[in-house]
Amino acid sequence: MNAIRATRRLGKAGPEVSIIGLGCMGMSDFYGPADETESLSTIRAALDAGITLLDTGDFYGMGHNELLLREALKGSRRERLFIQVKFGAQRDPTGAFLGYDARPAAVKTALAYTLRRLNTEYVDLYQPARLDPAVPIEDTLGAVADCVRAGYVRHIGLSEMGADTIRCAHAVHPIIAVQLEYSLMSRGLEREILPAVRALGIGVTAYGVLSRGLLSDAQRKPPAGSDFRAHFPRFQGENLQQNQALVQALHRIATGRGVTPTQLAIAWVLSRGDDIVPLIGARTRAQLSEAMGALEISLTAEELDRIARIVPADQVAGTRYGPAQMAMLDSERPESQSGGPLWNTCARWISQRLSGAALTSASPSLCWIMPRVPRAVRSIASRPRRAGDPRRACTCMTSIRSSTSCGARCGSRSKARNTIAGPAR
């Protein structure tokens, strides 16, 4: 494999990383048994080839993936690597998913275990795997921001969140990247999310670039056993047949170019913008080598147009996850619905911290909010604080909803909230 020299920046303010990253999930979970020796060799081969971005999650194999990385990275220069970790997903001893927990205490606890498993003093990017509907995003990001100030986290990201949620989160604390599924067969982010993150200067780390294998040569029959794709609508019955028919047309283009369908699919994602970093879910050195061949492909405008016509997004059969999982994806909700209770939290946060005048002169990431903040909230925000007014003096979320003082409930949280989420100064 030739060494990778090309880099891409994660957002306008983030660090430079290798032009592609290595997604490590499949080495520990979800795609059936993996050979641990080969997994270790694949990670080391990726490092030798110049890949610096490594993507993992604390729930991948219930910690196994982080321990695998720890072993593979022994002897590596930590400062040359960019390790990003997803957190929040809860699992039981059988591996079944129980939901999400993004409460501040849970965030810091999860990070403590991640640091120990990875044997590192910090993670480069820490991101909630999903939006926890029971926890305001301000609380979650506030906890991560505490860890940033303490030196345990370098940057904050988001995963599978909608445009409104991203805007609100970015107003609370700078976000450098959002992780989303993006491929020829999963292009929903192009409608609302991609324009939103580009307006905010946020990058994208794209997973599922092969549509879970549909766009490769490997997926010829329905998945079975412990392969989680067996539960995905796109891999079932007539849906699978229709999707494979679309892919066959893509194979013909790849053959004409003298490349593999895998390489063509990755090259297509690379062509979507310099602010997008594809994550390659290689489990073997052979898969990694094939994927890196995509870096040698430059697609013309005519080829891109032909590919889009051959694999039209609206002709892909089935959703990318099952119904229960789709319901958990904030990124799949229309913009008017994304965020849900989070939008109310965002408005409350602004009303507590900014005057009406400050809102109009705030940073660009806040300016979009002003027209959407309810008139009553703007009115409250513009009024000066009054001594003894518990709604204005107290920073805990309970106080804005209640006319009575929360007393000692705020405690140190009040101080933390005032310092972690203020506007850009």
Instruction: Write out the catalytic residue numbers.
Output: 60
Looking at the DSSP assignment, which residues form a beta bridge with residue 16? 9
Q: Are 176 and 124 in contact (CB under 8 A)?
A: no
Spatial contact of 27 and 55, defined as CB atoms under 8 Å apart: no
Q: Could you give the angle at which helices 137-150 and 412-420 cross, rounded to 10 degrees?
A: 80
For the record, the structure tokens of 80 come out as: 């040359």
User: Are residues 310 and 304 in contact, defined by beta-carbon separation less than 8 angstroms?
Assistant: no
Give dist(CA 383, CA 357) in Å, integer: 10
- Cα-based distances in Å from 15 to 7, 23, 56, 150, 263: 10, 18, 18, 19, 26
Residues 234 and 320: their CA atoms lie apart, in Å, by 6
Burial of residue 252 (number of CB atoms within 10 Å: 0-12, 13-18, 19+): exposed
Torsion of CA 215, 217, 219, 225, to 10 degrees: -130
- d(CA 278, CA 187) in angstroms, rounded, equals 14
Quote the tokens at residue 323. 């119904």
Question: Is the Cβ–Cβ distance between 122 and 152 less than 8 Å?
Answer: yes
Paired tokens of 88: 């929040």
Whole-angstrom distance, CA of residue 180 vs CA of residue 99: 19
Rounded CA gap, 118 and 55, in Å? 12
Q: Which amino acid is at 119?
A: N
Which residues, in sequence order, are CB contacts of 173 under 8 Å at separation 6+? 141, 142, 144, 145, 156, 420, 421
Side-chain half-sphere CA neighbours of 164 within 13 A: 20
Query: With contact defined as beta carbons under 8 Å apart, do 57 and 28 qualify?
Result: no
Residues whose CB falls within 8 Å of the CB of residue 136, separated by 6 or more in sequence, listed in order: 341, 342, 345, 397
Cβ contact 406:394 at 8 Å = yes
- Give the whole-angstrom CA distance, residue 417 versus residue 107: 16
